[in-house]
Each structure stands twice: as structure tokens, then as C-alpha cells.
Amino acid sequence: MTPEDFIKANAALMSPPLVPEIKLHLATEVVPLWRATEEELAEIGVPPPYWAFAWAGGQALARYVLDHPELVTGKRVLDIGSGSGLVGLAASRAGAASVLAADIDAFACAAITLNAAANACTIATTQDDLIGAPPAWDVILVGDLFYERPLAERLLEWLGPLDVPALLGDPGRTYFPKTNVEKLASYSVQTTRDLEDREIRETGVYQLQRSKPGG
Ligand SMILES: C[S@@+](CC[C@H](N)C(=O)[O-])C[C@H]1O[C@@H](n2cnc3c(N)ncnc32)[C@H](O)[C@@H]1O
């Protein structure tokens, strides 16, 4: 079964609560596959389906971009850790000149392409790990990526010194930076109990402030 077939068979086109103008292939709570453990998924050769949820950080950042299109209009945008593609799709709808959605999961890249088609948007995808790459973008968008320490540290080491604006959407994950961030907006985001321990997550959108390399 190809990733595309898997996604079509196991997800349904739905809009995230905070971003009703965008449709995504998302997990439905009635499909038992999404209750499977990581070990069970590994046995059938499927990585944890991060792409099948619109994470609170991504929902907030997508909402902010759609409501402030001047941040991306006419610009080259990178959506790093794109998952479903939600944030990149918001940038595309807000008038970005180009959007690259990067996710190291092949299923995510397949989901992003399907979701772009469902929203009549054109966005490029890459499975390359771009953290540390020389920036070829005008804006970098980061939706809900501060859930693991090594990933958070690599991201901040890369983004901090860059001369490129980085916007972060985050519901207070453990490894979200406590300094060098300026809060731009906050949202009460409806999520699912399958994913989070509560139904509403207070979620911020932040601008990362520049820091010295290693600082
Ligand atoms: C919690 S999900 C967030 C998805 C989306 N941004 C959102 O907010 O809905 C994290 C995603 O980051 C991806 N990811 C993890 N490490 C990555 C890396 N080094 N480069 C690109 N994507 C990465 C995962 O595969 C996963 O799809």
C-alpha cells in the first residue's frame, strides 16, 4: 500500500477547528488505527502519524498567518516540520510567492501533497532534514516542534542567529524557549483528547528574536 493509499484509507477530509478555511486528511477518532501504540504501528511499517492531526501550535500559527497575510505575501516561505501541511497551506492561501513544506516523514510529505490538492494550493515538499541548511527563504514557520529536547535544541541553534524572521506556534511544550521570544498572539485551540490531556490548549504565536551563535 502506498502512503497515499494509506492516507486515503485511514483519514478523512476535515477542517481544524481554528482554521475552517483549510481542509486536511485527518484522523477520525472512530478509526482504531490511531489508538494503536507506536510499537504496533512499527510492526506494520507505519511511523507515528503526526501528519494526521492539526497540532495546537500549527492551528494557532496558521490562524495568525491567515489573519496577517502581509507576513508572507510575495515571500518565499519554509514550513519546517510541516506534518499535515496546515501552516504551509495557510501561507500559500495568504499569498506566499512559494512554500516549501519540509518533513522527514514520507507519509507526511504524501499527506501534504494530497492536502495541497484538496485546497487547490501548490506547495513543494521535501523529506530532507533542513535544520542547519543555509536559509533560502524570507520567512520560516515552525508549528509545534518543541516537544523533544534534541529537536528543540537543533532548531534554536539554527534559527536563533539567522537573519530570517521565524514565527513559532506553541502550546507551552516542555522544550519551548523561555527567552528570546516575543509573544504576538494567543488562542484557545480546540484539540482532541486522543492527542492531548485536555480539550482546549492555550497556544501562543511568537517571533523568535535573534541570538548570537551558541547563545
Ligand atoms: C507535532 S508535529 C507538527 C506538525 C505541524 N507543524 C502542526 O503543527 O500541525 C511534528 C512534525 O515534525 C516532523 N519533524 C520532526 N523532526 C523533523 C526535522 N528534523 N525536519 C523536518 N520535520 C521534522 C515530524 O515528522 C512531524 O510531522
pLDDT digits over 50-75, tens only?
Answer: 999 999 999 999 999 999 999 999 99
Predicted pLDDT of residue 36: 66
Cα(210) to ligand 1 centroid in Å equals 22
Cα-to-centroid distance, 81 and ligand 1 (Å)? 3
CATH number at 58 reads: 3.40.50.150
When divided into structural domains, the chain yields a total of: 1
Residue 50 domain-assigned (yes or no):
yes
Instruction: Report in angstroms the alpha-carbon separations of 127 from 57, 155, 163, 174.
Output: 21, 16, 24, 25
Any bridge partners for residue 183, and if so which?
Answer: 206
Range of the domain at 180: 3-208
Nearest to 86, CA basis, from 48, 49, 60: 60
Q: Which residue has the cell 524557549?
A: 177
Residue 65, phi then psi, degrees to nearest 5: -65, -45
User: Over the stretch 90-101, which tens digit does the pLDDT of each residue have?
Assistant: 999 999 999 999
58 found inside a domain: yes
C-alpha 171 – ligand 1 centre gap (Å) = 15
**213 part of a folded domain:** no
Percent of the chain predicted with pLDDT > 90? 77
Residue 86 within a domain: yes
Q: Is residue 165 part of a domain?
A: yes
- 131 alpha-carbon distance from chain centroid: 14
Residue 191 included in any domain: yes
Q: Does residue 32 surpass a pLDDT of 70? A: no
Mutate to test the pocket of ligand 1, among 104, 128, 148, 174 (most ligand atoms within 8 A of CB): 104
Percent of the residues in the chain that have a pLDDT greater than 70, as a whole number: 94
Q: What is the mean pLDDT of the chain?
A: 92
Task: Confirm whether 214 is domain-assigned.
Answer: no
All three cell numbers of 145: 516542534
Give the nearest ligand 1 atom to 82 CA: 6
Residue 10 lies in a domain: yes
